[in-house]
Amino acid sequence: MWSYGRPYLRGLLGMLATIIVISTLSVVPAILIRLLVDEALPRGDLGLLAVLGVGMIMVPLVNAIVGVVQRWFSSRVGEGIIFDLRQELFAHLQRMSLRFFTATKTGELMNRLNSDVVGAQQAITGTFVTIVSNVVSVVVILVVMLQTEWRLTLLAVAALPLFVIPARRVAKVLRRVTTQQMEHEAKMSGTLQEAFNVSGALLIRLFGRWREERDKFGDQASLVRDYGIRRAMVGRGFFAALGLVSAVGTATVFWVGGLMVIDGVLSLGALVMFSTLLAQLYGPLSAISNSRVEFATSLVSFERVFEVLDLETDVPAPEKPLPLGPAVGRVEFDDVSFRYQTDEPEGLEAVKRFSWRGTTDDTASVGHMATRDWAVHDIDFNAEPGSLVALVGPSGAGKTTISYLLPRLYDVTAGSVRVDGKDVREVDLEELAATVGVVTQETYLFHDTIAANLRYARPDATQKQLEEAARAANIDEMIDKLPDRYETIVGERGYRLSGGEKQRIAIARVLLKDPKVLILDEATSHLDSRSEALIQQALETLLEGRTSIVIAHRLSTVRRADQILVLDEGRIVERGTHEGLIEQGGLYSELYETQFERAGA
């Protein structure tokens, strides 16, 4: 925690200075009241009375000014820590593999970046300020009280153990309740994200599941509500107990102090000052006792943030990356095997390390220890520069998995994938991304303009380059017909465009990137014949001069392939050219008769 506060040391020291000033000023009104009762009124000293009156005005004025300064320091430090934590969390999550995101709800990640980060910041700028200011206040008040009457002071602080003892138990309970509440808030955020994105909203409407989704959200929201009520009641009960202790301590001091005034041992002004300081003493004492509770609940937020930051990526960047240099485009799969699921918990389940007693919780891994089937096994092939390799096979054969391993969306479980003779695990991730281009079957576009989506591949692209890429992808005519042309907003996930239009924009985006190695899922079965023809023309341009690995769905692509790999159940069962594989009469021949021949050219 301190590592995040250290860069803001000046701000923290400024906060400390203002805390000391405000805490010191808090005892001045009580001293002024004592002077009024013991000095100014008995002597009829109008001058002293005027000075005391001015003092009573100046104290809150100075307090307000110093409070503004303290708030400035506090906001600078607090917002800075929030920014640092969010930046680090975002950067860390971006380095995670695709496996992490497929096992994690987006809403839960957003909850960690928002609510948990704010809760962690509160530990420093809220709880820290509370603890320090109350400690300083207690010290200053006790010094003044001891100088006035040490016996009454000892009597006043005799109740201190009654403040401290309950705090330990309450802190444990509130920490457990707060953790449960935050977990349910994260699940609720996940439900919201799934229901309110375009795909989720469309699915709900198509199946008419409004009531079920409402009830599902209501169940989670009710748990958040119930834990919130329990948290509030535990805290309120604690404060009620502290208030009772304060009342008993105040009454005892009043009774003993009154006897001392009657006996002439203590002046009336000193007793009045004591009564004023007692309220100021028990308030900070209660707050200090409660600070343990606040700190324990704040630690829950820090734990949830640090759990994610401590999670190691299974696609780590190389410590000393090898340069690819001017890429040639040779691709090699050397005895590659891979399985998606591991023997360990995945996603955010892997970071739930703490049980309610703060010990390691091993129960999260139950149910994950079974051996998983291989997605691909013993994959071995080479793609020479500029060649076209077609991957064919039934659904679930492992074609898409192979396309994920080359750009390191996942790391291989065994074997190696190489580009130009260098293992992709030893190459700089950004350089690898620049070398390998991917066009997926499901195109994703940001809720932004067409130009912004195209420039995602090449931020410095000129308008002329955008138009050339669009022309090569056969999407320029459609864009020119739009009112705002390249500045048209495509909508959430590009839903304002048709499937064929989105695919052609994706092709234009990859053309702008100009990768040496291309991975392509060329499925066009859901498109009309005109869109399909336009996309096929665009693909001809895209494939030219690149090493291409294509998940082939069309006979024209298969026939022109330099090498066809036929996959089944994660293994390469046949390889060769179209004519040669037809002659073998194996799985490829069967696929040709049932899929490719029907798909046509």
Tokens at residue 351, please?
Answer: 């970071």
Neighbours of 320 (CB within 10 A): 6
Question: According to the model, what pLDDT value does residue 359 have?
Answer: 37
Chain center to CA of 404 = 24
The CATH code of the domain at 2-309 is: 1.20.1560.10
Q: Report the distance separating Cα 284 and Cα 279, nearest Å.
A: 9
DSSP for 141-155, please give it.
HHHHHHHH-HHHHHH
Pairing of strands 547-551, 388-392: parallel
Q: Which residues of 497-530 are buried (b: 16+ CB within 10 A; e: fewer)?
A: bebbbbbbbbbbbbbbbebbbbbbbbebeebeee
Neighbours of 462 (CB within 10 A): 10
Closest CA to 31 of 52, 60, 57, 54: 52
Torsion of CA 550, 553, 557, 563, to 10 degrees: 50
The pTM is what? 0.66
- Give the DSSP H or E segment for 462: none
Report long-range pairs for 357-360 (Cβ below 8 Å, ≥24 apart).
Answer: none
Closest CA to 153 of 163, 141, 169: 141
Q: Could you say which residues of the chain have pLDDT below 50?
A: 353-372, 525, 601
Q: Report the distance separating Cα 29 and Cα 25, nearest Å.
A: 8
Residue range 386-412+421-599 forms a domain whose CATH class is alpha beta
Closest CA to 332 of 275, 387, 260: 387
Question: According to the model, what pLDDT value does residue 595 have?
Answer: 67
Q: Which residues of 201-219 are buried (b: 16+ CB within 10 A; e: fewer)?
A: eeebeeeeeeeebeeeeee
Name the burial class of residue 249, with classes exposed (0-12), middle (13-18) and buried (19+) by CB atoms within 10 angstroms of its CB.
Answer: buried
Around 103, how many Cα atoms within 13 Å sit in the side-chain half-sphere? Answer: 17
Question: According to the model, what pLDDT value does residue 180 have?
Answer: 78
Strand, helix or coil at 36? Answer: helix
CB-CB contact of 39 with 49 (8 Å): no
Q: Report the distance separating Cα 185 and Cα 475, nearest Å.
A: 44
Question: According to the model, what pLDDT value does residue 353 have?
Answer: 46
CB-CB contact of 318 with 425 (8 Å): yes
Question: According to the model, what pLDDT value does residue 417 have?
Answer: 92
The structure tokens 């006979």 sit at 555
- 143-161 pLDDT, tens digit each: 888 887 778 777 777 766 6
Residues in the chain: 601
Neighbours of 160 (CB within 10 A): 17
Question: According to the model, what pLDDT value does residue 529 have?
Answer: 59
Tell me the torsion sign for CA atoms 483, 485, 487, 489: positive
Tokens at residue 326, please?
Answer: 């001017």
What is the spatial order of strands in the sheet that 436-439 belongs to? 436-439, 517-521, 547-551, 388-392, 563-568, 571-576
- 574-600 pLDDT, tens digit each: 888 888 888 888 888 888 777 665 555
SS (H, E, C) 207-242: HCCHHHHHHHHHHHHHHHHHHHHHHHHHHHHHHHHH
Between the alpha carbon of residue 70 and those of residues 11, 12, 16, 133, 184, the distances in Å are 9, 10, 9, 11, 35
Torsion of CA 516, 519, 524, 529, to 10 degrees: 10
Q: Report the distance separating Cα 554 and Cα 507, nearest Å.
A: 17
Break the chain into its structural domains and give their ranges: 2-309, 386-412+421-599
